[in-house]
Structure 1
Amino acid sequence: MGQVWSAQDLLLGREVAVKLLRASVPGSTHADELRRRFERESRITARVGHPGLVTVHDAGTDADELYLVMQYVRGTDLADHLAENAPYPWPWAVAVAAQLCPVLAAVHDAGIVHRDLKPRNLMLRHDGTLVALDLGVAAVLGADTTRLTMTGSPVGSPAYMSPEQAMGDAVGPAGDLYSLGVVLYELLTGTVPFEGSSALGTLHRHLHEAPAPLRTTRPDLPPALEALVLWLLAKDPAQRPADANAVYLALAPLLPTPTTAVLTGTGPVSAALCDPTRPFRMPFAPWPDHAPQTPWASSPAAAAAAQPVRAPAPDTRSPDTEGDLLAATVDEARRLLGAGRISQALGLLGSALRTAEARHGVDSPVAAALRRQYGALQPHAGAHRAGATPHRP
């Protein structure tokens, strides 16, 4: 449908994302009408103003292209997050869906239907908050999202389309709830519920087949969660939840509380960047700033990154196992770094550092050892983020 570019707002000095959309998209023969709809939907989208939606700064046309200037979101898209953390912990899936519910409620209250919910259009910031992308673009295309091109491929994402959208019928809020059910199913099983050898084959399965039970592959899932996913995936829109609020109320008993431990799939210490449960476990808590950058060259800092960091003896007031836990934390961070999972390694050490500072003091030997390792990883993390692509066409 188009391209997304990273750009600099020269007036305000901020980084932005610019999405370019071709006015003559496949399946559409009315460029002028598309432009009018684009401008109308862009104004509506900008008025929604929910923190879970990417902010639209500007919109317009340039020659044969439509453009949107949007907030630049730092983080990882949900598809990559799933790939890095398979099997996805079910509390994470619940937290993602629960964060998306108020976004959909705000969108639907404004008379908008997203029409293209999928993991690539959802991003997790480093603090675990979720942001939905591409609202308005799918709405602008309207019925064109299901029209077939000459190659027989629909414009859109067949794997996430509701049956009514696959048939080319009018799509309402229930269509977005069906797509949410597909996303939840994929997070919990690692695959979408319906997939065919062609777009038409996938759409046919949406229309005529029942999804495989989730607990056959994930017996750890709560029965209530499986029931909710199947409710969302009902073929008849009238048989799905009434609205996004009803979905949230069904998810609420499964959400972590501020008193529960952090839930991750890796490591002895419970912390990670982009953990979607964090907003529920630590509501309104500030996201800690990164430690000051350590100069990276042929220096003691570089040597420290290349050598294992031995934990100092634990405080005499601490349990005997604390030194072992610290050493295990550092070893796990180094394993994640070796596997290229730099963000997770940094998040693991950052959480351990905050815990050590709170328990033993900022100047304690335990905190100092963790701070050295954390600082040594910072240049790696900076290079990793600089090469990331936070927005995708």
Structure 2
Amino acid sequence: MTGRLIAGRYELATVLGQGGMGQVWTAYDRRLDRRVAVKLLRPDKVAGGENVEELRQRFDRECRVTAQVDHPGLVTVHDAGADGEELYLVMQYVEGSDLGDHLAAHDPYPWPWAVAVGAQLCAALSAVHAVPIVHRDLKPRNVMIRTDGTVTVLDLGVASVMDTDTTRLTHTGSPIGSPAYMAPEQAMGGTIGPRTDLYALGVVLHELLSGEVPFAAPTALGVLHGHLYEAPVPLRRIRPQVPEPLEALVLRLLAKDPQDRPKDAQDAFRQLAALVPPPGGSRSAPLGPMDPTRPFLRPHAPWPDRPEPAPLPERPAYPPAPSPTAPDLAAAVDEVRRLLDAGRITQAVDVLGGLLPAAAEKHGEHSPVLRSLRKQYAATLMEDGQYRRALPELRRLSEELASQYGGADRQALQYRYEATQCLEQLGDTTTALSEYRVLLPYFERWAGTDPGPALDIRRRIGHLLLSIGDRRAARDVLTRLLYDAERVRGPHHPFPAEVRRTLAWLGQVQG
């Protein structure tokens, strides 16, 4: 199914998740050359073959309403509609980890993290409830932790379309939605309101803090019985370090009667925010990736936190292959060429990145085939402006060739030159300037046959000197460069003309 085109625009790539009623795919927006997520729903399966047209109309209505909710804690809806027998919802592709995986990777989950996640969820829910919309399916799999620690809520509005008959749970034992996170009134087909989402929030917080949902059973009816009749175990009996106010709040969120829960998401937020570490508090070191306390400790700070330049990656990290089956390398390379010819660089990057592990396994880590693919991968990353990802590829190519043919090998030095351009683009001015000065003598040896790289390196050195404020040195470098560039290229060539403009700006030469 990979390669299927939705609405003549969105090309499906890999399955992110699936269930009995639909699938979620990574996809590419051909028009804007960007990654998106596409949720596909089968109305006939959702409605059991009945009222399909009514469900389509509800889906359209819900998508229009949810697309109007503007909050940084909610995934952005780009498009929606029908494609054949399926409904599709196109959303922003969110980089990070879903909360379920985040919890599994950090056991036990730090209680300040749980508080920070809960507070961010309350902020998003407050915006949702103001519309008014009820999410109806808040659970860890519908929450993403971004790399910078911010929380994003997924699937807003979809649950209300899927949940065509909540009472079916009690009639047949067949679960609708996610029983483990479902408020008693929702499971029994009662009135749904904002406090229904607050109950689900309580379940999520209980799970983050204890590692388990408050009510578990082999069947959906068993889970329902727990929600209706059993009291949750207070968290401090399971984990004594949980603060008493946090335990009390979770118990209030899990109250059987909606009226006994916090009055709204803002009320819950205020109680959680009081437990979040204050900005500039005890943690002075830069926070790591996917730390949900970071937005509170360093609000509005750029990500990554780098008071000093962070070390750049030495080795590439490839994205997962786009298919669990071994790809046809020749066909995939042809596909990359087609994508590049069509200007779909972002998609070409992902296809190439997915090919590399398979090519390494088939041909070997040091094979010419793999090296050729990595060269194309690095070049495409640079063309796409992804210098941080291109840098380790270029360094590795340069090191391998230097090890095989010596440090003065021309191709090894070319890769090193391109890696230095990445450093320059990434703002590591000092390292880039040092590297260019090391590389220049090598490229000047070849200036008789190819003067371009040596001239370009000298221009870059001059511009880097300007960027660190050494105007005198920059002027000397660029003045000598202008003389040589006019001699080699001619006075009217664009290259010396650019150098002349820079010098004119410096007041050395009239334009």
TM bracket, shorter-chain basis? 0.7 to 0.9
Return the alpha-carbon distance in structure 2 between the equivalents of residues 301 and 244 of structure 1. 56
Partner of 1:36: 57
Q: Classify 1:49/1:301 alpha carbon distance in 2 versus 1 (closer, same or farther; 3 Å).
A: farther
Q: Distance in 2 between matches of 1:120 and 1:209?
A: 25
CA distance in structure 2 between the partners assigned to 1:300 and 1:10 by the alignment = 36
Structure 2: how far apart are the matches of 1:211 and 1:113? 24
User: Retained in 2: the 8 A contact 1:146–1:168?
Assistant: yes
CA distance in structure 2 between the aligned counterparts of 1:139 and 1:207, rounded to whole angstroms:
22
Aligned equivalents of 1:271 and 1:121: distance in 2? Answer: 24
Please name the residue that 1:294 is paired with.
392
Q: Which of 37, 46, 55 in structure 1 is aligned with 2:76?
A: 55
The within-5 A match list for 1:123-142 is: 123-142=144-163
What is the alpha-carbon distance in structure 2 between the residues aligned to residue 99 and residue 252 of structure 1?
A: 9
Question: Any idea what SS the aligned residue of 1:127 has?
Answer: coil
Supply the AA of the counterpart residue of 1:276: P
Higher Rg: 2
Aligned to 1:334: none
Tell me if the contact between 1:16 and 1:72 (Cα under 8 Å) persists in the aligned partners: yes
1:3 aligns with 2:19: no
Give the alignment's Cα RMSD to 1 decimal.
Answer: 2.5
Give the alignment's TM-score, normalised by structure 2: 0.56
CA shift for structure 1 position 141: 2.7
Cα shift at 1:151: 6.8
Letter of the 1:252 partner, please give it.
Answer: A
What residue identity is the alignment partner of 2:101?
D
State which of 172, 178, 196 in structure 1 corresponds to 2:199: 178
Report the CA distance shift for 1:362/1:153 in structure 2 as closer, same or farther (over 3 A): farther
Alignment deviations for residues 131-168 of structure 1 (CA, whole Å, 9 cap, x no partner): 00011110223443552499732121000000001111
Establish whether residue 280 from structure 1 lines up as the match of residue 306 from structure 2.
Answer: no
Separation in 2, partners of 1:107, 1:204: 29
1:271 Cα deviation after fit: 3.3
Matches within 5 A, 1:178-217: 178-217=199-238
The code of the aligned residue for 1:274 comes to M
Structure 2: distance between partners of 1:148 and 1:227: 30
Which residue type is aligned with residue 12 of structure 1?
A: L
Cα displacement (A) at 1:287: 0.7
Q: Given that residues 102 and 245 in structure 1 are in contact (C-alpha distance below 8 angstroms), is that contact kept between their aligned partners in structure 2?
A: yes
Partner of residue 325, structure 1: none
Matching residue of 1:314: none
Residues 93-120 of structure 1: CA deviation (Å, up to 9, x unaligned): 0000000111101111111100000000
Aligned length: 302
State how 1:1-393 maps to structure 2 within 5 Å. 1-26=21-46, 28=48, 29-145=50-166, 147-148=168-169, 152-262=173-283, 271-288=287-304, 291=312, 292=388, 293-295=391-393, 297=396
- Asked whether the equivalents of residues 181 and 203 of structure 2 are also in contact (C-alpha less than 8 Å), the reply is yes
**Structure 1 counterpart of 2:44, which letter?**
S
Contact preservation (8 Å) 2:76, 2:92: yes
Residue identity in the other structure for 1:68: L
- Residue identity opposite 2:230 in structure 1: E
Cα separation, 2, equivalents of 1:27 and 1:14: 33
CA distance, structure 1, for counterparts of residue 39 and residue 57 of structure 2: 17
Against the structure 1 CA distance between its residues 161 and 77, is the aligned structure 2 distance closer, same or farther, given a 3 Å change threshold? same
Rounded Cα–Cα distance in structure 1 between residues aligned with 2:167 and 2:84? 26
Cα deviation for residue 233 of structure 1 reads 0.3
- Local SS of the residue matching 2:56: helix
User: Is the 1:77–1:124 contact (alpha carbons within 8 Å) kept by the matching residues of 2?
Assistant: yes
1: distance between equivalents of 2:225 and 2:51?
28
CA positional deviation for 1:26? 4.4
Secondary structure in structure 2 of the residue aligned to 1:33: helix
Displacement of 1:91 after TM fit? 0.2
Determine the C-alpha separation between the residues in 2 that align with 1:283 and 1:362: 29
After superposition, give the CA deviation of every residue in 1:328-359 in whole Å (9 maximum; x if it has no partner). xxxxxxxxxxxxxxxxxxxxxxxxxxxxx9xx
Letter in 2 for 1:288: P
How far apart, CA to CA, are the structure 1 residues paired with 2:124 and 2:168? 27
What SS does structure 2 have at the residue aligned with 1:248?
Answer: helix
Secondary structure, aligned partner of 1:3: strand
Contact 2:46 2:162 in 1 (8 A): no
Unaligned runs of 5+ in 2: 1-20, 313-387, 402-427, 432-511
- Specify the code of the residue in structure 2 equivalent to 1:294: P
Determine the structure 2 residue equivalent to 1:379. none
Q: Look up the equivalent residue of 2:258 and give its one-letter code.
A: P
- Kindly state the Cα deviation for residue 297 of structure 1 after the two structures are TM-superposed: 3.9
Secondary structure at the aligned position of 2:28 is classed as strand
Q: Work out which structure has the larger RCO, using CA pairs closer than 8 Å and 6 or more positions apart in sequence.
A: 1
Measured at CA, do residues 222 and 56 of structure 1 come closer, stay the same or move farther in structure 2, by a change above 3 Å?
same
Residue 51 (structure 1) shift: 1.1
Question: How has the CA–CA distance of structure 1 residues 165 and 301 changed in structure 2, closer, same or farther, with 3 Å as cutoff?
Answer: farther
C-alpha deviation, 1:10, in angstroms: 1.1
In the alignment, structure 1 segments of 5+ residues that lack a partner are 264-268, 303-356, 364-393
Name the SS of the counterpart of 1:117 in structure 2.
Answer: coil
- Percent of paired sites with the same residue: 61
Superposition deviation, residue 64 in structure 1: 1.4
